[in-house]
């Protein structure tokens, strides 16, 4: 096959890719693509707002960030000038005889150049040449006839390049210590203490002779060989693209194709051609620019009208490299799991051992076990998500029912209380009415009687005055006798009634219990949220260990100073410990080597368990349970359930089952005692299996007891190699584990209580407690002064 050098692509380096004319003051981006200063200024002005902080290179689309200290209007002028292109353009113009005088151009005058100043790198007309030779500072410059420029071998100096730090100075030196070109002012100010500072000419000659530059061509040839091999590989892949070709042909039949580049600008133009490499339809205008662009000049374009009848061999749509946007990805490095272009393969992965073509790696990956199982894994994930979706859907329904039930309960309680209070109100109002009917008439009668006596006195006074003034003696005596008798009766009434008369008042004394309710009850009730982890909803992709035949391997042996009497491996792999001597609970890292946080307790702790994702409890001997919360790896005590607990408890479906002397006390989520489950022994450590059975040990005994949730015995396990039972736990598979403190082992029992095997045997210390993680591939055993961690496979 022909190599790329046999048919080299001719690229006009002097043409701007925006205006398609010869460069006028060529400026370049960090990606080294050059544009006219005016063209790139217009481009920046029109696209900067859209890209917010920078622009994409019009050729390779590399994102270029605007310097913070430069305005948008000045950015284009501050871009570096491509002096190589300037020299190339000057040379072409000189050879063609179309060069204008540079000095006159600065004054907006147009004069044809007749000579060239080697030192200034500028063309001069006859007048300017004359003054150029007369100038004191320019008299030693070498000026040649422009007609002889292309045929005469002349010493040529590069155009002067201004220093970035001091624009009025030209660069003349090179500092090898800092790999920087600079002016003489920079040398004096910044590089005077550097050991390797020399002229640009010497540095250039030294670099040309360096081993790195000499081997550069060989490296490029080696890279070319690799590219040629990859091209041959891609030829073998063409047959795999037939389906894509057929699909694209069907797409072209289904309707009129629109130009894709125009669509990106929200414009609608009918497509007239199709780019095989880009995999895009193009209109006539975009096709024209597509053929002119440097990056797409080699792309194969076909007429979209003949598309379905043309038998084509094509490549997939090229994917640009993230590091080199003008390159396409063609290689894959297995060492770094990265796709890359050939430039990246040469620069970054040349020392990697496993770099191959994308085709080979893709074919190898298609036959790998991971890819073969990919659909099964996704199906497992989908099944789990379906189960989770069904569960959350049911949870929403149950939640809505709970909300409605709470509202009904509140209304019922309110109605019940209202009815009861209404009845009490009715009773007291009836009593008040009865009292009013009984007492008020008596007061009214006495009031009326006194009013009558007063009326009698008023009448007697009137009679007395009349008799005194008008009555004859006989009548006067007779009237006075009656008035005197009447007075005696009134005096007697007043004397008697003044002693009997009492003020009658009534008051309402509210019930003390009602007053206490008014003071003590601050709310109608509590609304509690119960979050229960669904361990049965574990993702099927979280592979769980088959615990029937696992082999534990000791991974760490951590000294703890005090006896570990309770242990729990959390969902995230962290470990909770309760230490007897220090009366603390500790949250440790995955290896149990570092204490992340701790909390002091009011007594000796034993069993410790999480009751939700963030909440847990620890049993305090003969005191109760301490409820705590874990947030951001910090332990915070919340509440306390006071009860005569021995060693341990379990939490199931919102209830605490607390082991006591010959009974198991059951408390609800509000920490109120619900009932007692009577047993024949003093309960030690506890565990719950499948939500249907309670397992417990007797501290210092030799048995494991299993009962139903209501206390009915199921089985009792004993073994001659099980002495002084301590903790009991259940793994994700339902196997029951019981620790033998003095036998220094842990027994694994099946669902029916039979011995599966002694999984941990001949331990260095007697185990107090044991806990497994949710996958079953890690076990942690707490002993007197140590924590033993095991990997299980």
Average pLDDT over residues 214-236: 62
The pLDDT, as a whole number, for residue 236 is 53
Q: What pLDDT is recorded for position 664?
A: 96
The helix/strand/coil state of 468 is: helix
User: pLDDT category, 574, cuts 50, 70, 90?
Assistant: very high
Helix (H) or strand (E) holding 499: helix 473-500
Percent of the chain with pLDDT over 90: 24
Each residue of 369-420: pLDDT tens digit?
Answer: 777 777 777 787 788 788 888 888 888 888 888 888 888 888 888 888 888 8
Q: What is the dihedral of CA 178, 184, 185, 188, to 10 degrees?
A: 70
What is 545-792's CATH number? 2.120.10.30
Average pLDDT over residues 781-788: 94
By CB atoms closer than 10 A (0-12, 13-18, 19+), residue 185 is middle
pLDDT of residue 648: 96
Residue 7 has pLDDT above 60, yes or no: no
Number of CB atoms found within 10 A of residue 328's CB = 18
User: What SS3 state is found at 186?
Assistant: helix
Q: Is it the case that residue 251 has pLDDT exceeding 50?
A: no
780 pLDDT higher than 60: yes
- The more confident residue out of 670 and 588 is 588
pLDDT over threshold 80, residue 159: no
pLDDT for 152: 45
CB-count exposure of residue 631 (10 Å: 0-12, 13-18, 19+): exposed
Is the predicted pLDDT of residue 542 greater than 70, yes or no? Answer: no
What's 87's DSSP letter? H
Question: What integer is the mean pLDDT of 693-711?
Answer: 92
What is the structure's pLDDT at 9? 39
Query: Which of 421-435, 465-479, 703-717, 775-789 comes out lowest in average pLDDT?
Result: 465-479
Stretch 352-369: mean pLDDT: 84
Q: How many residues does the chain have?
A: 793
pLDDT at site 165: 84
Mean pLDDT over residues 181-187, rounded?
A: 88
Confidence of residue 87 (pLDDT cuts 50, 70, 90): confident
Taking the whole predicted model, whether its pTM rises above 0.85 is answered as: no
The overall average pLDDT reported for the chain is 80
pLDDT digits (tens, 9 = 90+) for 17-46: 899 888 888 898 887 788 999 999 999 888
Q: What is the pLDDT of residue 409?
A: 85
pLDDT tens, position by position, 492-539: 777 777 777 677 777 777 777 777 776 667 676 666 666 655 544 444
Mean pLDDT of 62-66: 85
In 653-719, which ranges are E strands?
655-667, 673-682, 686-689, 693-697, 703-708, 713-718
Cα(680)–Cα(698) distance, integer angstroms: 10
pLDDT at 434: 80
Helices (H), 157-215: 184-190, 200-208, 211-214
Burial class of residue 457 in the structure, from the number of CB atoms within 10 Å of its CB (0-12 exposed, 13-18 middle, 19+ buried): middle
- Within the chain, what is the greatest distance between any pair of CA atoms? 183
Q: Give the mean model confidence (pLDDT) for residues 439-459.
A: 74
Closest alpha carbon to 701 in 729, 678, 677, 682? 682
Give the rounded distance of the alpha carbon of 57 from its chain centre: 33
Tell whether the model's pLDDT for residue 546 goes beyond 80.
Answer: no
Q: What is the pLDDT of residue 737?
A: 95
Question: Cβ distance 567 to 769 under 8 Å?
Answer: yes
Cα–Cα distance between 432 and 673 in angstroms, integer?
Answer: 43
Q: Which long-range contacts (CB under 8 A, 24 or more apart) does 520-525 make?
A: 524/410, 524/413, 524/414, 525/410, 525/413
CB contact at 8 A, 261 and 280: yes
Residue 427 C-alpha from the chain's centroid: 63
Higher pLDDT, 695 or 230: 695
Q: What is the pLDDT of residue 683?
A: 95
The C-alpha atoms of residue 433 and residue 152 are separated, in whole angstroms, by 136
Res. 468: pLDDT tops 90: no
Q: How confident is the model at residue 543 (pLDDT cuts 50, 70, 90)?
A: low
- H helix runs in 501-629, sequence order: 512-520
541: pLDDT strictly greater than 60 = no
Positive or negative, the CA dihedral 557, 562, 568, 571 is negative
Residues whose CB falls within 8 Å of the CB of residue 561, separated by 6 or more in sequence, listed in order: 579, 581, 582, 785
- Looking at residue 315, its pLDDT comes to 41
Distance CA 544, CA 735 (A): 13
Please, what is the end-to-end C-alpha distance for the chain in angstroms?
55
DSSP 543: P
């Amino acid at each position: 096959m022909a190599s790329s050098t046999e048919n080299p692509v001719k690229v006009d380096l002097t043409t701007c890719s925006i205006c398609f004319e010869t460069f006028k003051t060529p400026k370049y981006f960090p990606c080294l693509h050059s544009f006219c200063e005016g063209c790139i200024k217009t481009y920046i002005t029109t696209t900067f707002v859209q890209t917010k902080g920078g622009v994409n290179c019009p050729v390779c689309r590399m994102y270029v960030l605007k310097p913070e200290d430069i305005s948008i209007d000045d950015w284009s002028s501050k871009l570096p000038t491509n002096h190589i292109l300037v020299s190339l353009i000057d040379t072409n113009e000189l050879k063609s005889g179309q060069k204008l005088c540079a000095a006159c151009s600065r004054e907006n005058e147009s004069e044809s150049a007749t000579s060239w100043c080697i030192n200034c790198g500028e063309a001069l007309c006859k007048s300017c040449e004359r003054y150029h030779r007369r100038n004191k500072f320019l008299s030693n410059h070498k000026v040649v006839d422009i007609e002889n420029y292309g045929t005469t071998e002349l010493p040529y100096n590069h155009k002067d390049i201004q220093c970035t730090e001091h624009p009025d100075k030209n660069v003349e030196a090179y500092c090898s210590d800092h790999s920087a070109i600079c002016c003489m002012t920079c040398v004096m100010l910044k590089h005077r203490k550097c050991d390797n500072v020399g002229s640009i000419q010497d540095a250039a000659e030294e670099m040309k002779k360096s081993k790195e530059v000499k081997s550069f061509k060989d490296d490029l040839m080696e890279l070319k060989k690799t590219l040629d091999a990859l091209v041959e590989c891609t030829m073998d892949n063409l047959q795999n693209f037939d389906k894509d070709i057929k699909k694209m042909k069907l797409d072209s039949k289904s309707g009129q194709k629109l130009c894709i580049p125009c669509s990106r600008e929200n414009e609608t133009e009918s497509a007239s051609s199709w780019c095989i490499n880009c995999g895009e339809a193009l209109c006539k205008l975009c096709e024209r620019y597509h053929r002119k662009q440097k990056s797409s000049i080699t792309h194969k374009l076909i007429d979209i009208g003949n598309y379905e009848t043309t038998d084509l061999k094509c490549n997939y749509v090229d994917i640009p490299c993230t590091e080199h946007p003008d390159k396409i990805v063609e290689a894959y490095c297995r060492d770094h799991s990265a796709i890359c272009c050939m430039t990246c393969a040469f620069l970054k992965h040349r020392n990697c051992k496993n770099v191959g073509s994308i085709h080979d790696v893709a074919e190898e990956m298609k036959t790998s076990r991971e890819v073969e199982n990919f659909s099964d894994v996704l199906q497992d994930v989908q099944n789990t998500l379906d189960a989770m979706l069904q569960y959350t859907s049911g949870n929403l329904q149950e939640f809505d029912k709970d909300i409605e039930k709470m509202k009904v309960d509140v209304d019922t309680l309110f109605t019940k209380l209202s009815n009861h209070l209404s009845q009490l109100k009715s009773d007291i109002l009836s009593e008040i009415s009865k009292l009013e009917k009984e007492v008020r008439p008596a007061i009214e009668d006495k009031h009326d009687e006194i009013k009558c006596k007063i009326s009698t006195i008023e009448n007697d006074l009137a009679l007395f005055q009349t008799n005194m003034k008008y009555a004859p003696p006989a009548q006067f005596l007779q009237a006075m006798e009656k008035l005197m008798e009447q007075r005696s009766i009134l005096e007697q009434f007043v004397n008697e009634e003044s002693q009997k008369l009492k003020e009658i008042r009534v008051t309402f004394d509210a019930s003390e219990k009602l007053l206490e309710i008014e003071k003590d009850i601050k709310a109608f009730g509590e609304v509690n949220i119960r979050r229960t982890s669904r361990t049965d909803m574990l993702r099927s992709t979280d592979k769980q260990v088959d615990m029937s035949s696992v082999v534990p391997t000791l991974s760490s042996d951590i000294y703890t100073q005090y006896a570990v009497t309770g242990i729990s491996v959390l969902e995230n792999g962290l470990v909770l410990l309760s230490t007897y001597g220090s009366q603390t609970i500790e949250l440790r890292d995955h290896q149990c080597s570092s204490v992340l946080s701790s909390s002091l307790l009011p007594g000796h702790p034993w069993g410790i368990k999480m009751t939700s994702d963030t909440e847990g409890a620890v049993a305090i001997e003969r005191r109760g349970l301490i409820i705590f919360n874990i947030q951001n790896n910090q332990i915070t005590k919340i509440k306390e359930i006071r009860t005569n607990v021995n060693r341990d408890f379990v939490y199931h479906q919102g209830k605490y089952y607390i082991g006591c002397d010959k009974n198991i006390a059951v408390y609800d989520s509000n920490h109120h005692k619900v009932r007692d489950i009577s047993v024949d022994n003093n309960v030690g450590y506890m565990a719950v299996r499948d939500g249907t059975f309670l397992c417990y040990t007797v501290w210092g005994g030799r048995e494991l007891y299993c009962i139903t949730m209501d206390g009915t015995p199921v089985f009792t396990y004993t073994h001659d190699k099980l002495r002084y039972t301590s903790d009991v736990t259940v793994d994700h598979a339902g196997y029951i584990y019981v620790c033998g403190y003095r036998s220094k082992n842990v027994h694994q029992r099946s669902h029916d209580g039979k011995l599966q095997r002694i999984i941990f045997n001949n331990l260095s210390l007697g185990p107090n407690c044991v806990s497994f993680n949710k996958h079953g591939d890690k076990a942690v055993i707490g002993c007197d002064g140590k924590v033993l961690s095991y990997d299980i496979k």
